[in-house]
Amino acid sequence: MTMLLNRLLIALASLIVTCLAAAGAQAQVSERPVPGFPHAVVYALPGNAPRPVVVILAGADGGDQGGRRFGPILADMGYAAVSLPYYSPDWGQYGPPPQFPDLPGSFIDIRVDQIGELREALRGMDGVDIERFGLFGGSKGSEFALIAASRYDWIDAVVAYTPSDLVWEGWGLETIEAEGTRSSFSFDGQALPFMPYRGFVEGLLAGPGNADLRAIHENGRADHPDREATARIPVEAYPGALLLIAGEQDAQWNAARQARTIVAAREAAGLATEALIYPEAGHDLIGGDGDPRADPRSGGTPQANAEARLDAWPRVIAFLDRTLKPGPD
């Protein structure tokens, strides 16, 4: 108990320092648009010193909320933090209007190769060093990040919260009567092979909070063992640094299982992976706050999720510093 308390106090102290620094620098952090990406924003501190890039990839909620939340925090840590909205949910008359109507409104064939285009758009921007390039993703954003890392050898570091080892089926209004037909992601104009769900539309009709999303994923996987090999993200093709954070009680999908599969695939290829897997935690793991908030979509307990966030965040900071910032000469 004493050891756990000490760890929590150390993590809390780190969080307080980080938050106070971020609050103090908030007014100084600049926001610049990225040419060719209407909703992408680079967050950075003043000055033209080249800063490592960290691209923020949100999950299924889409929009720019994740970028607005973490962009200033990562900028204060010395990064050129790039918010890249790539999806803005649009369920037509069945949901609220999309935040960005010009972005894909369905999570179908999301273009992974836009990461390569983003890097080129960042080239030459003051204060941006594209030769040190990291990705920071959560949930579907981690799926995106891992696919990109397996295809671009210039990606140096990936932080993947609640990761996936597979490319999954896509969803949207187009798939209501066509389940199992579309992929979440594409590359170079081709839809990527994917793992179908079982019961996604049924879960959708059950209403918010009533669908067992973990079962929808796991049952789909059980139904289609023949598709494991083609839907698998070839994480062993990514030689860079990788940090995975997952909870055993994740209610969205089996992130802990998926993290272990990623670790095993990379170990077989002689590649090291850092994995933080929390037995009592769920899906709500991103960030460093210790607020034991209730999130019915998460799984785990509010307290376990808060403790996992407090434990993981200083490690995320250390990982990014170690892999993206130059060491002493």
**pLDDT, tens digit, for every residue of 170-185?**
999 999 999 999 999 9
Residue 116 counted as domain residue: yes
Whether the predicted pLDDT of 27 surpasses 60: no
List the single range of 198-207, 220-229, 301-310 with lowest mean pLDDT. 198-207
Name the residue with higher pLDDT: 125 or 207.
125
Pairing assessment for the beta strands 190-191 and 128-138 based on DSSP bridges: unpaired
Helix or strand or coil: residue 129?
Answer: strand
Q: In this structure, is residue 265 part of a structural domain? A: yes
Torsion of CA 97, 101, 104, 106, to 10 degrees: 20
- Predicted model pTM: 0.91
- Walk across the sheet containing 110-111 and list its strands: 110-111, 185-187, 190-191
CA dihedral 111, 230, 167, 242 (to 10 degrees): -90
Among residues 274, 276, 227, the alpha carbon closest in space to that of 248 is found at: 276
- In this structure, is residue 284 part of a structural domain? yes
What whole-number percentage of the chain has pLDDT above 70?
91
Can you tell me the mean pLDDT for 254-280? 98
CA 134 remoteness from chain centre: 12
Give a yes or no: residue 247 inside a domain. yes
> Which residue range forms the structural domain that includes residue 218?
2-324
What pLDDT does residue 326 have? 78
Whether pLDDT at 206 is above 60: yes
In a domain, 134, yes or no: yes
Domain count, the chain: 1
Residue 140: in which H helix or E strand, if any? helix 140-149
Q: Give φ, ψ of 328 to 5 degrees.
A: -65, 145
% of the chain exceeding 90 in pLDDT: 84
Q: Are 123 and 146 spatial neighbours (Cβ–Cβ below 8 Å)?
A: no
26 found inside a domain: yes
Other C-beta atoms within 10 Å of 27: how many?
7
Beta strands in 121-268 (DSSP E): 128-138, 157-161, 185-187, 190-191, 241-247
Residue 165 inside a domain? The answer is yes
Asked if pLDDT for residue 108 goes beyond 70, the answer is yes
The amino acid that residue 23 corresponds to is A
C-alpha to C-alpha distance for 228 and 230, rounded to whole angstroms:
6
Domain for residue 329, yes or no? no
Span 281-306, pLDDT tens digits: 999 999 999 999 988 889 999 999 99
pLDDT for residue 310 is more than 90: yes
> Which CATH number do you get for residue 112?
3.40.50.1820
Residue 1, pLDDT above cutoff 90: no
> For residue 155, is it left (φ>0), alpha (ψ between -120 and 50) or beta?
beta
